[in-house]
Amino acid sequence: MAERRLTVPQVADTPRALPARYLAPLDLAELLGVPIETVYQWRRKRVGPRGFRVGRHLRYDPDDVRTWVESLQEGAAA
């Protein structure tokens, strides 16, 4: 299996820039360091970042992923 790598643009305004394209489930798993099955479980349980379909392909908006991660960080800070 070929190794996939995300290219993350360097943006001065954001400390951790996300890719400028929509993320596939495997991209999301690699970005967050979780198994791909975890991404699918989040989707089934409706607890993960908001995803959408492009035809039969599942995609995630990087901005939605960032918002979801920030909501988790806020909950952990309490």
DSSP secondary structure of 4-28: P-------TTSSSPPPSSPBPHHHH
Domain boundaries, the chain: 1-78
Distance from C-alpha of 59 to C-alpha of 65, rounded to nearest angstrom? 11
Average pLDDT, 10 consecutive residues per value, the chain (78 residues): 55 59 96 96 96 96 94 81
User: Could you tell me the pTM of the whole model?
Assistant: 0.72
